């Protein structure tokens, strides 16, 4: 699926399933914004 020129907001995207989804969306061409409760884990994602 091509997601060029699309924006995805992934909540809980710093680890686990959310991170896997964010990576796949990125590989499909989407611009990704990751929202997470912990700034420490969000920075490593």
Q: What percent of the chain has pLDDT over 90?
A: 64
Structure tokens at 26: 């990125």
Listed in sequence order, the residues at least 6 apart from 25 whose beta carbon sits closer than 8 Å to its beta carbon are 3, 8, 10, 32
Q: What is the pLDDT of residue 36?
A: 87
Alpha-carbon distance 14 to 35, whole Å? 8
Listed in sequence order, the residues at least 6 apart from 40 whose beta carbon sits closer than 8 Å to its beta carbon are none
Structure tokens at 38: 């912990």
Residues 1-45: tens digit of each pLDDT: 899 999 999 999 888 999 999 999 999 999 999 988 887 776 666
Structure tokens at 8: 């995805």
């Amino acid at each position: 699926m091509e997601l060029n020129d699309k924006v995805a907001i992934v909540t809980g995207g710093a680890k686990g399933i959310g991170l896997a989804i964010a990576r796949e969306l990125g590989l499909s061409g989407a611009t990704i914004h990751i929202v997470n409760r912990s700034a420490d884990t969000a920075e490593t994602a």
